[in-house]
Structure 1
């Protein structure tokens, strides 16, 4: 597992590049520098379709975890007495509920517990949900660590993983890192989607970086079926130069 990388460390991108080398994206240059303000989108649907109703067991587990968090020494007891008894679906529901209630440290502990379950298989959506939540809180170190752990578990970063990392960088005014991650994304063969392109275009323009926005707009012709229609819609929804919390 990669060590935690501070947002000011010059080695961060180099380490990410090395981790991504098996996927064919180990060469990048730092070419962009400025600041930017951006928000992240609302959470996507969770991996498992749910009716939104938690079981009694899942509710009790969440409540017990929240109470024990006031005295961390009691957390192991709650995990042993409550979480070990949960069925797979109930455990995943409890994990999602902790994220919904913004108890991210507890959610991360539950995720570590889930990873040790016999039925667990590496899942993009579980990582994506956590990256989104920590990105919204501007905890970039944890977002980077999750991205690295996703790779360590044998998953190739998908469009959402890259978009969450890009969004997290933009959230903390790190446009250089956002652009480098966008280049990593393309180099890996992962295709930017409309959400990725929207975040990049509108926030680059709002930061006064029309030069970089133009690069992203050119890419729309390569990655989208109707680039002109898409760009027209983006311009309509997000007037230029306004400070927006996108998606």
Structure 2
């Protein structure tokens, strides 16, 4: 059974307010101080997830950085992984690499999903060599590539014309 979390009225209003204010830095600042600042933890995280779902890159990054400054924030690998997915889809490879470094700076260790998202992001921008280096780093870190990782690897290597590498 597929379960989804229903957004609260506050989270929906926060997303709408952010989207309406995104073209004006002063209005955006006002939304953060009047609406975002008052959200409960769950609503704030739901707002971030909804912005990611809608591919609102700039707004999601602002909310992500806001979340990381909250008093209750504890470094969370899944938050980083979700941002890496979004940035990878938008071919923002430098930002994906920056997030990878930042998660380590926050005391987190990349897991199999983190490496898989990084590999996928490299393939999005056709950086096959970097993707393969990351795959080797993943294995060297003690993670056994799962079916998803191998599927991403094989499909993208074949698409890039690197069938010889995909047979390894």
TM over 0.5: yes
TM-score tier, shorter chain, comes to over 0.9
Return the offset for 1:208. 2.9
Return the offset for 1:152. 0.8
User: Where does residue 140 of structure 2 map in the other structure?
Assistant: 187
User: Where does residue 15 of structure 2 map in the other structure?
Assistant: 62
Return the offset for 1:132. 0.7
Task: Flag structure 1 segments of 5+ consecutive residues without an equivalent.
Answer: 1-49, 216-247
Query: What pairs with 1:187-206 in structure 2 (closer than 5 Å)?
Result: 187-206=140-159
Return the offset for 1:205. 2.6
User: Where does residue 226 of structure 1 map in the other structure?
Assistant: none
Return the offset for 1:60. 1.1
Task: Give distance in 2, aligned partners of 1:150 and 1:190.
Answer: 17
Structure 1, residues 44-82: CA drift from partner, whole Å, max 9, x if none? xxxxxx743211111111111111111112222111110
Question: 1:129 aligned to 53, 62, 82, which one?
Answer: 82
Query: What pairs with 1:28-39 in structure 2 (closer than 5 Å)?
Result: none
Task: Give distance in 2, aligned partners of 1:119 and 1:174.
Answer: 37
Over the residues paired in the alignment, what is the CA RMSD in angstroms? Answer: 1.5
Task: Give distance in 2, aligned partners of 1:205 and 1:65.
Answer: 41
Q: Determine which structure has greater relative contact order: mean sequence separation of CA pairs < 8 Å that are 6+ residues apart, divided by chain length.
A: 1
Return the offset for 1:196. 0.5
TM-score normalised by the chain length of structure 2: 0.94
Structure 1, residues 201-223: CA drift from partner, whole Å, max 9, x if none? 222233332321122xxxxxxxx
Greater radius of gyration (CA): 1
- Contact 2:118–2:134 (CA under 8 A) maintained in structure 1: yes
Task: Flag structure 2 segments of 5+ consecutive residues without an equivalent.
Answer: none
TM-score normalised by the chain length of structure 1: 0.65
Over 3 Å off, 4+ runs? none
Task: Give distance in 1, aligned partners of 2:61 and 2:26.
Answer: 17
User: Where does residue 78 of structure 1 map in the other structure?
Assistant: 31
- Contact 2:126–2:160 (CA under 8 A) maintained in structure 1: no
